[in-house]
């Protein structure tokens, strides 16, 4: 009997095995594969994503934070643009952040975010980003996810080959796309050639607080400096810039800057220039540029106008700069995780050119150059090229790496991502993008240690990917799983503004350092009050300062009288909550500015210039509690010649 | 008797844990509080489990008109309890030491246990009185004035021990390390009595 049961069990087990085998065979042909893909991007309610992705907002001027693999957007961080959602650029504390030598500029075109590194690996302290239009570099804290510093870059125009950092965050580098007269002057445009300069700016990052200071500007020939990346590992100490318009055309660049068969990648030995500068080299030049710093303890930004910059003439530091000929107006200029290969993506070409750092050094040692451009030696193409990727695609733009010996390049014209092998230069896989991909991002893909699991392709054209929303649509991005030999398209998601580059990292690097509240006992804002009992209203001539408190769910004070037409009323609002995710907002009827959103423990100031007599309400704009609707107050505005004394109260 | 006396000394000394660790804990969780708010009850005062928990609990309680949580100088218990605990620990250690020297019998251990038990019961009774008062003595101008189905005003005292649903909150009330050490200490004194008695009986 026992034996019978055993055999029977064995039989059932065999049948079950056959049945499951059949199932597996059948599944792959009837759509189980797609449900498998869905699981890869499905982050169940309450679960959290594996990685952060910071996508540039392009013409939105801001930076957006997404989760991978879900593609969910978590936050828009205001950087170069006014942002009514939080009051950034509207509040008295943050207006100085957008100050420039041209005055207050409410907007910019944010392009290339880059996360700070230590020893070539992401350290998650800050993320840097460039303003392309009115050249600026911003530093954003990755504990508060707020912009902490913006420095303007003088002598630059179209701050595009920026804001990439060296492997210990020694410098954040900002190169000009448009060459301009340096210093700016009134001159005929036709005299561009030999007269315009392209400034490559090395901005020192103070290691403890990240404060920015221009160390030197390299005044290069008048080409267009498009993109750049740092050397790493063995090539640490060098920086590589792609150029186009080495023709130095000043009109119809579409044609006139596309004539040379090869442009250059400029290899800059910044350590050598740093040494030259440290020994008193370089020339100080008058220059006007703003340096804006936000202080987390005072919750206030200050803007300082600088008046001098140190410039370096390349001809005075021989042996520091070389040109590597690179075909067809290269765009992306990317360095592999080992620091050995410099990839130039000739955007008008089908092929990708890979230069070798070792070969470059050998060629420099041999001293055998193919002439020079403005005194800068040009290394012979065949002496420096390590290989060419015969891609079969068209319009390569940007390359990142998975840390497993593979490179991934976007092809704008043929709308695809091509995976190829370093050293053998053979194409391994290609996947379409939808459509016209600009840049791609692998978390850590621009470091010694990429986290090569997901790849995000950021496209320029959306067309039919989503439900139509009129002529203007958000751009589209795709997520690919790159953990296997073949790339697998997982998911589409719309992005905000126009993402150019992006940067990403593992969630663990940031999530535990993310601040929950600001401590009220550390609030050093000059108009902060430490408790609601300190609330008061003070008149200084026409200026009225209201020291106001918010806590669920009332303002202190909420009845104010004695304000007059023509006054400037400053609401200094301190949020006394010390609980995670309990902001209060503030807005005043007829106020010519945005609301402000005040985080727990923070003080922000909103300016109101009452123009009409009456009793005017203000309210909390953030649904803070069940009694949010009750969170309101009144201000009595009297005629300018009235003699009503200031008074204020709560519950009297 | 030697083992019994040592156990008595150790048991009494365990009371001193109350000066380091919280005695009791009340934790409040709700959907919008995935990280629950918590009050650690020490013998000399209340402390938030996270730094701002007390302030945040007070902030929530003001909706239903509860008083703010007491500061140490607002309750006599927080000055008396430490003295009682310190005295009992000292007495326990003393009688344990005397037992070790053979000066007294293990009945003293039992006596200590019984007194400690009475004091503990009084403490819990007092704690419960406070909980009831705190949860039911509400501001008549409270924002939310809720009533039970039978029309009586709703009260919000957390449970003495265990779980209770308070509106949208789940309240949990349990002893913490200090309180657990107190319990183990008392248990030790009782065991010390039995071991001591057995040894005495054997000797006779």
Q: Is the pLDDT of residue A62 over 60?
A: yes
State how far the alpha carbon of A230 is from the alpha carbons of A142, A336, B193, in Å: 22, 10, 76
Cα separation, A526 vs A515, whole angstroms? 22
Sign (positive or negative) of CA dihedral A460, A463, A467, A471: positive
- In angstroms, the Cα distances linking B66 to A110, A122, B31, B140 are 51, 49, 21, 10
> Which of A616, A597, A611 has the alpha carbon at shortest distance from A93?
A597
- For tokens 């003293």, name the residue: B108
Distance CA A280, CA A495 (A): 47
Q: Which residue of B has its CA nearest to A518?
A: B52
Q: Which residues contact A399 (CB under 8 A, 6 or more apart)?
A: A332, A334, A343, A345, A352, A407, A408, A409, A410
DSSP 8-class letter at A363: H
Mean pLDDT to the nearest integer, A19-44: 62
What does the DSSP 8-state code read for residue A29?
T
Residue A143 placed within a domain: yes
**Residue A284 resides in a domain:** yes
Distance from CA of A548 to the nearest CA of B (A): 18
A577 touches chain B (CB under 8 A): yes
Residue A535 forms part of a structural domain: yes
- Confidence at A254, pLDDT banded by 50, 70, 90: confident
Measuring CA to CA, which residue among B169, B203, B201, B199 is closest to residue B1? B199
Q: Quick check: A627 and B59 CB within 8 A? A: no
Looking at A282, A317, A332, the residue that finishes a domain is A332
Query: CA torsion sign, A122 to A123 to A127 to A130?
Result: negative
Question: CA gyration radius for chain A?
Answer: 29
pLDDT score, position A349: 85
Of A578, A580, A626, the CB nearest to B55: A578
Residue A66, pLDDT > 80, answer yes
Query: What is the C-alpha to C-alpha distance for residues A395 and A574, in angstroms, rounded to an integer?
Result: 53
Q: Which of A518, A532, A579 to mutate to test the interface with B (most CBs of B within 10 A)?
A: A579
Nearest C-alpha in B relative to A516 = B52
Looking at the complex, report in whole angstroms how far the Cα of residue B28 sits from the nearest Cα belonging to chain A.
14
Chain A residues 151-170 within an 8 A CB cutoff of chain B: none
- Band of residue A5 on the pLDDT scale cut at 50, 70, 90: very low
The CATH number of residue A583's host domain is 2.60.40.420
Average pLDDT, chain A: 94
Partner-chain contact B63 A626, CB within 8 Å: yes
Contacts of A6 (CB under 8 A, 6+ apart): none
Q: What is the pLDDT of residues B15-67, one digit of tens each?
A: 999 999 999 999 999 998 999 999 999 999 999 999 999 999 999 999 999 99
pLDDT of residue A33: 60
For residue A411, is it within any domain?
no
Quote the mean pLDDT of chain B. Answer: 93
Residues of chain B contacting residue A551, judged by C-beta atoms under 8 Å apart: 59
pLDDT confidence band for A391 (50 / 70 / 90): confident
What's the domain range around A96? 87-332
Give the model's confidence band at B167: pLDDT under 50 very low, under 70 low, under 90 confident, else very high: confident
Predicted pLDDT at A392 = 84
Asked whether the predicted pLDDT for residue A253 surpasses 90, the reply is: no
Bridge partners (DSSP) of residue A409 are: A399, A418
**Chain A residues within an 8 Å CB radius of B63:** 626-627
Among residues A568, A562, A548, A537, the alpha carbon closest in space to that of A646 is found at: A562
Residue A258 lies in a domain: yes
Question: How many domains are contained in chain A?
Answer: 2
Question: What average pLDDT does this structure show over B67-86?
Answer: 94
**pLDDT bracket for residue B138 (50, 70, 90):** very high
Strands B45-48 and A416-421: unpaired
Provide the domain count of chain B: 1
**Contact residues for A263 (Cβ-Cβ < 8 A; gap 6+):** A223, A242, A243, A244, A245, A246, A325, A326, A327, A328, A329, A330
3-class DSSP string for chain B: CHHHHHHHHHHHHHHHHHHCCCCEEEEEEECCEEEEEEEEEECCEEEECCCCHHHHHHHHHHHHCCCCCCCHHHCCHHHHHHHHHHHHHHHHHHHHHHHHCCCCCCHHHHHHHHHHHHHHHHHHHHHHHHHHHHHHCCCCCCCCCCECCCCCECCCCCCCCEEEEECCEEEEEEECHHHHHHHHHHHHHHHHHHHHHHHHHHHC
Q: What letter does residue A646 receive in the DSSP assignment?
A: P
Distance CA(A225)–CA(A243), nearest Å, equals: 5
A578 interfacial to chain B (CB closer than 8 Å): yes
What average pLDDT does this structure show over A463-492? 95
Buried b (16+ CB within 10 A) or exposed e, A477-511: bbbbbbeeeebbbbbbbebbbbbbbbbbbbbebbe
In chain A, residues with a C-beta closer than 8 Å to the C-beta of B65 are none
* Touching B: A residues 601-630, CB under 8 Å: 626-627
CA nearest neighbour of A159 among A97, A111, A126: A111
Nearest-Cα residue of chain B relative to residue A578: B52
Q: Taking CB atoms and an 8 Å limit, are A552 and B56 in contact across chains?
A: no
User: Do A579 and B52 lie within an 8 Å CB cutoff?
Assistant: yes
Q: Check CB contact of A380 with chain B, cutoff 8 Å.
A: no
Q: Which domain holds residue B27?
A: 2-203
Cα(B26)–Cα(B161) distance, rounded to whole angstroms? 9
Residue A552 contacts B, CB cutoff 8 Å: yes
Confidence band for B199, pLDDT divided at 50, 70 and 90: confident
Residues 6 or more apart in contact with residue A623 via CB below 8 angstroms: none
Predicted local distance difference test score (pLDDT) of residue A35: 66
Contact A517 B55 (CB under 8 A): no
Establish if A427 belongs to a structural domain.
no
E strand map for A93-195: 99-100, 103-104, 114-118, 121-131, 136-141, 147-152, 164-165, 171-175, 180-181
Q: What's the mean pLDDT in B64-87? A: 94
Distance from CA of A331 to the nearest CA of B (A): 47
C-alpha distance from residue A28 to each of A18, A20, A34, A182 (Å): 16, 13, 9, 64
- Say whether residue A632 is in contact with chain B using an 8 A CB cutoff: no
CATH assignment of the domain containing A99:
2.130.10.10
How many other C-beta atoms can be found within 10 angstroms of the C-beta atom of residue A215?
21
Each residue's pLDDT tens digit, A557-577: 999 999 999 999 999 999 999
Quick one: which of A573, A567, A652, A570 has its CA closest to A619? Answer: A573
Q: Please report whether residue A504 resides in a domain.
A: no
DSSP string, A208-252: TT--EEEEEEEEEES-EEEEEEE--GGGTTEEEEEEE-TT---S-
Alpha carbons A129 and A164: distance in angstroms, whole number: 8
Q: Region A628-632: what's the mean pLDDT?
A: 94
CB proximity A285 to B under 8 Å: no
CB-closest option in B56, B63, B143 to A579:
B56
Predicted local distance difference test score (pLDDT) of residue A258: 84
Question: E strand or H helix at A590, and its extent?
Answer: none
Look up the ipTM and state it: 0.85
Chain A: residue whose CA lies nearest to B58: A552
| β pairing state of A568-575 and A543-551 | parallel
- Asked whether the beta carbons of residue B59 and residue A517 sit closer than 8 angstroms, the reply is no
The percent of residues above 70 in pLDDT, for chain B, comes to 100
At CB < 8 Å, which residues of chain B contact A? 35, 51-52, 55-56, 59, 63, 143
What gap in Å lies between CA A401 and CA A421, rounded to an integer? Answer: 10
Whether A625 is covered by a domain: the verdict is yes
CB B186 within 8 A of CB B178: no
Percent of chain A clearing pLDDT 90 (strictly above): 90
């Amino acid at each position: 009997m026992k034996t019978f049961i055993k055999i029977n069990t064995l039989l059932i087990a065999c049948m079950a095995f056959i049945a499951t085998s059949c199932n597996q065979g059948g599944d792959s042909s009837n759509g189980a594969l797609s449900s498998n893909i869905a699981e890869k991007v499905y982050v169940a309610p309450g679960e959290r994503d594996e990685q952060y992705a910071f996508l540039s907002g392009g013409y939105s001027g801001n930076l957006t934070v997404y989760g991978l693999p879900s593609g969910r957007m978590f936050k828009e961080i205001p950087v170069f643009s006014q942002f009514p959602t939080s009051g950034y650029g509207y509040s008295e504390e943050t207006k100085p952040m957008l100050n420039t030598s041209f005055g207050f500029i409410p907007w910019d075109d944010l392009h290339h975010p880059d996360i700070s590194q230590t020893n070539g690996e992401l350290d998650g302290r800050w993320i840097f980003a460039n303003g392309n239009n009115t050249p600026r570099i911003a530093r954003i804290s990755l504990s508060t996810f707020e912009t902490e510093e913006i420095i303007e870059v003088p002598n630059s125009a179209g701050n595009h080959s920026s804001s990439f950092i060296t492997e210990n965050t020694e410098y954040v580098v900002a190169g000009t796309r448009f060459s301009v007269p340096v210093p700016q002057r009134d001159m005929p445009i036709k005299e561009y050639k030999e007269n315009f300069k392209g400034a490559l700016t090395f901005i020192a990052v103070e290691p403890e607080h990240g404060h920015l200071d221009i160390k030197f500007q390299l005044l290069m020939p008048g080409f267009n400096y498009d993109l750049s990346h740092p050397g790493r590992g063995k090539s640490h100490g060098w920086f590589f810039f792609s150029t186009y318009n080495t023709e130095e055309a000043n009109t119809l660049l579409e044609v006139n800057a596309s004539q040379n068969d090869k442009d250059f990648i400029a290899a800059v030995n910044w350590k050598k220039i740093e040494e030259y500068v440290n020994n008193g080299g370089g020339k100080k030049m008058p220059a006007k540029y703003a340096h804006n710093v936000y202080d987390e303890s005072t919750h206030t930004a200050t803007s300082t106008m600088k008046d001098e910059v140190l410039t370096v003439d390349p001809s005075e530091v021989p042996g520091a700069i070389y040109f590597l000929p690179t075909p067809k107006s290269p765009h992306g200029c990317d360095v592999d995780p080992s620091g050995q290969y410099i990839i130039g993506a000739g955007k008008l070409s089908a092929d990708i050119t890979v230069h070798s750092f070792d070969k470059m050094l050998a060629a420099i040692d041999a001293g055998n150059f193919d002439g020079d451009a403005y005194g800068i030696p040009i290394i012979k193409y065949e002496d420096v090229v390590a290989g060419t990727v015969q891609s079969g695609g068209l319009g390569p733009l940007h390359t990142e790496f998975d840390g497993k010996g593979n490179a991934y390049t976007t092809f704008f014209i043929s709308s695809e991502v091509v995976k190829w092998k370093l050293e053998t230069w053979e194409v391994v896989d290609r996947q379409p993008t939808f459509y016209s991909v600009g840049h791609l991002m692998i978390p850590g893909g621009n470091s010694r240690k990429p986290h090569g699991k997901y790849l995000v392709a950021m496209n320029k054209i959306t067309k039919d990917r989503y439900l139509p929303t009129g002529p203007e649509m958000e751009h589209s991005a795709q997520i690919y799983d790159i953990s296997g030999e073949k790339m697998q398209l997982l998911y589409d998601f719309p992005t905000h503004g126009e993402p150019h580059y992006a940067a990403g990292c593992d969630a663990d690097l940031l999530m535990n350092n993310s601040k929950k509240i600001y401590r009220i006992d550390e609030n050093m804002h000059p108009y902060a009050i430490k408790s609601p009992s300190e609330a008061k209203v003070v008149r200084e001539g026409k200026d009225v300062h209201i020291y106001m408190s918010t806590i669920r769910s009332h303002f202190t004070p909420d009845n104010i009288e004695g304000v007059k037409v023509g006054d400037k009323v400053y609401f200094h609002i301190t949020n006394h909550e010390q609980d995670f995710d309990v902001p209060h907002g503030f807005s005043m009827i007829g106020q010519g500015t945005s609301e402000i959103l005040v985080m727990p423990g923070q003080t922000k100031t909103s300016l109101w210039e009452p123009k009409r007599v009456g009793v005017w309400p203000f309210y909390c704009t953030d649904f803070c509690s069940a009694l949010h609707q009750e969170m309101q107050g009144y201000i009595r505005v009297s005629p300018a010649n009235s003699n009503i004394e200031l008074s204020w109260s709560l519950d009297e | 008797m030697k083992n019994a006396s040592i156990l008595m000394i150790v048991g009494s000394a365990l009371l001193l844990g109350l000066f380091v660790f919280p005695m009791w804990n009340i934790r409040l969780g709700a959907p919008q509080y995935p990280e629950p708010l918590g009050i650690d009850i020490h013998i000399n005062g209340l402390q938030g489990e996270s730094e701002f928990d007390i302030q945040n609990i007070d902030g929530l309680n003001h909706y239903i008109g509860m008083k703010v949580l007491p500061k140490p100088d607002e309750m006599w218990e927080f000055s008396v309890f430490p003295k009682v605990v310190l005295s009992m620990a000292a007495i326990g250690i003393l009688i344990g030491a005397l037992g070790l020297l053979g000066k007294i019998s293990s009945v003293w251990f039992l006596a200590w246990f019984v007194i400690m038990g009475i004091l503990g019961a009084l403490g819990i009774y007092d704690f419960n009185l406070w909980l009831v008062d705190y949860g039911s003595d509400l501001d008549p101008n409270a924002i939310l004035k809720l009533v039970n189905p039978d029309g009586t005003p709703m009260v919000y005292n957390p449970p003495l021990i265990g779980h209770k649903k308070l509106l949208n909150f789940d309240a949990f009330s349990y002893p913490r390390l200090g309180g657990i050490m107190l319990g183990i200490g008392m248990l030790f004194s009782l065991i010390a009595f039995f071991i001591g008695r057995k040894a005495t009986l054997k000797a006779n």
